[in-house]
Homo-oligomer: A and B are copies of this chain.
Amino acid sequence: MIVIKSIREMQSISESARKSNRIIGFVPTMGYFHDGHLSLMKIARPKCDLLVVSIFVNPIQFGVNEDFSKYPRDIKRDKELCESVNVDIVFIPNECEIFPPDFSTKVEIAGRVTECLCSAFRPGHFSGVATIVAKLFNIIKPHFSVFGQKDAQQLVVIKKMVKELNSPVEIVAGATVREQDGLAMSSRNEYLTPEHRQVAPVLYKSLLRAKDLLILGQKDTSVIISEIRKFIDSNGPFKIQYIEILNADTLESIASAKGKIIIALAAFLGKTRLIDNIVVEL
């Protein structure tokens, strides 16, 4: 495994790999790995000849009052974990090289996919994500890239960007990995107090209950949403930000559940913001 920091060096390695018909797989991350990240690498590993993982805490996807500066980092441990799943290259670019002082280019995806779920609460977030991913795709030139289903809206936005900018990259989704009690893995779980950590799985339980209601025939999404809300409110000190039931591919709102739908939510426990979702096929 090698560690690359220079953009130019990474680009030249990728270019050579493509010329010699080696398939490049790519997992973009902000580091501080948990089993969710590792599962994405394990999905990519057998599908490629050169597995590249980037570690970059991307400043432009954080809002002014968000946790950019305190976002957890542990590069040494991250490198060891990459090695343990046979990553070939860890790309750790320098922030100043990625965003030089007069940087002013943005990739923006407008419309429904950035008007729902997290968008209202994290203005600029998805543009920040799309911009860094567009850059990383130009640097790493992957044949495919793996993104976690946990960040469901991000996955939809990136798929749309890739399609609309004609990026020659296949987007692969990796299932959400959960703790034994059901809590979706996230680097931000680190922030939870022991008390909050204990109640955090309520979010996933609320999603499973909603799924049960759907399977039992409840089609009215507003009824299901209010059931989820009641369950969460009565099982912990959560502050719910949103609960939405949408078409899983377009993120269009739906009144009556049918087809492939996503139930997605965001809630605070103290200052820690947690998101989770499940996809249900009806």
Interface residues of A (CB under 8 A from B): 7, 11, 15, 18-19, 21, 100, 102-111, 113, 130-131, 134-135, 138-139, 141, 160-161, 164-168
Residue of chain B at shortest CB distance from A140: B166
B contact residues around A167 at 8 Å (CB): 138
Residue of chain B at shortest CB distance from A114: B104
Say yes or no: A108 contacts B108, CB within 8 Å. yes
B contact residues around A139 at 8 Å (CB): 166
* 9 interchain pairs, CB-CB under 8 A: A11-B166, A19-B21, A104-B111, A105-B161, A106-B108, A107-B107, A107-B108, A135-B164, A139-B166
Q: 7 closest Cβ contacts across the A-B interface?
A: A105-B164, A104-B111, A104-B110, A138-B166, A106-B108, A135-B166, A139-B166
A141 to B113, CA, bound (A): 28
A113 to B104, CA, bound (A): 10
B contact residues around A135 at 8 Å (CB): 164-166
Give chain B nearest CB distance to A32 CB in angstroms.
24
B contact residues around A166 at 8 Å (CB): 7, 11, 135, 138-139
Say yes or no: A160 contacts B107, CB within 8 Å. no
Say yes or no: A106 contacts B110, CB within 8 Å. yes
B contact residues around A11 at 8 Å (CB): 166, 168
A168 to B15, CA, bound (A): 10
Residue of chain B at shortest CB distance from A166: B138
B contact residues around A15 at 8 Å (CB): 168
A104 to B130, CA, bound (A): 13
Give chain B nearest CB distance to A114 CB in angstroms.
8
A168 to B140, CA, bound (A): 10
Give chain B nearest CB distance to A86 CB in angstroms.
26
A158 to B106, CA, bound (A): 13
A139 to B164, CA, bound (A): 11
Give chain B nearest CB distance to A282 CB in angstroms.
23
A21 to B20, CA, bound (A): 10
A102 to B159, CA, bound (A): 13
Known contacts A18-B19, A19-B19, A165-B134; A111 and B106 CB within 8 A of each other:
no
